[in-house]
Structure 1
Amino acid sequence: MGKRDDLIAKYAEAIRSKCGIEPDMDLLTKVTIGCGPAIYSDDAETIAASDPAELERVKNSFLVKKLGLSDGPDLMPAIDAAIETWGKSDRHKYRAAIYYLLVKQLGRETVYA
């Protein structure tokens, strides 16, 4: 297995243990690949949920640009819900895993079809 496969396995295990969800591995793989080189950087691999600027980036770059959602008042609560599902106190909120939770929560799996 390559480094990306190792990371996908790590994200899948984290989703299982932290969220109690059995991830769709095909979708998780596609979401992880969509994150690009960010998954290989210790800093960019995680989301700083306490940083409002970071949450705005997630909203604008992922939800609006990647998932094609309209910017509106319902997007930030969706991010908050995904972070709550993950666990606010956990400092290792993996970007690919949070994005996966958002895709599932918002029913946007067809973006990765």
Structure 2
Amino acid sequence: MADWAADVKKYAPHADEAVIAKVVRHCGIALQKADSSLVSFSDKAELDRVKKGFMTKKLEITDEAKADALLAEVEEAMKADRTKNRVTVYYLLAEKAGKLSVFGG
């Protein structure tokens, strides 16, 4: 199993481990396969899934421009990393949107 907390802390050094654990739980089965445990920022369909499935449903972000801006911000922050772990992407999206409280943070 990947060390999700270590990956998140590369970008958010003070990340709350309990919140990370809840994000991992939220991702659930998607983390079991290498391909689905990653987010491809070059795949429009993947980004649409992240927006609809996570940002709209979980974070309640309905403004598409805001969602796109948050995704761009996270993509920029993680650009040096060839693989973008779903847990890290979701944590950073929640953090930048001020929505860590959704996960108890």
TM-score normalized by the length of structure 2: 0.88
The alpha-carbon deviation at position 45 of structure 1 amounts to 0.3
Retained in 1: the 8 A contact 2:9–2:15? yes
Alpha-carbon separation, structure 1, partners of 2:94 and 2:41: 17
Retained in 2: the 8 A contact 1:15–1:22? no
State the match for 1:93 in structure 2: 84
For the pair shown, the structure with the greater C-alpha radius of gyration is: 1
The alpha-carbon deviation at position 51 of structure 1 amounts to 0.8
* Structure possessing the higher relative contact order (Cα contacts under 8 Å, 6 or more residues apart): 2
Q: Does 1:21 align with 2:9?
A: no
Retained in 2: the 8 A contact 1:16–1:22? yes
2:41 equivalent among 32, 36, 49: 49
> What RMSD, in angstroms, separates the aligned Cα atoms of the two structures?
1.5
2:5 equivalent among 2, 12, 16: 12
State the match for 2:26 in structure 1: 34
The alpha-carbon deviation at position 20 of structure 1 amounts to 5.5
Equivalenced residue count is 104
Structure 1 segments of 4 or more deviating over 3 A?
A: none
The alpha-carbon deviation at position 42 of structure 1 amounts to 0.6
Alpha-carbon separation, structure 1, partners of 2:13 and 2:41: 21
Whichever residue aligns with residue 35 of structure 2, its letter is: D
Q: What whole-Å deviation, never above 9, does each CA across 1:39-96 have from its counterpart, x for those lacking one?
A: 111110000111111111111110001112213211111011012112x242210001
State the match for 2:95 in structure 1: 104
Alpha-carbon separation, structure 2, partners of 1:109 and 1:74: 17
| Alignment gaps of 5+ in structure 2 | none
Report matched runs for 1:72-83 at 5 Å: 72-83=64-75
Q: Does 1:62 align with 2:79?
A: no
| Alignment gaps of 5+ in structure 1 | none
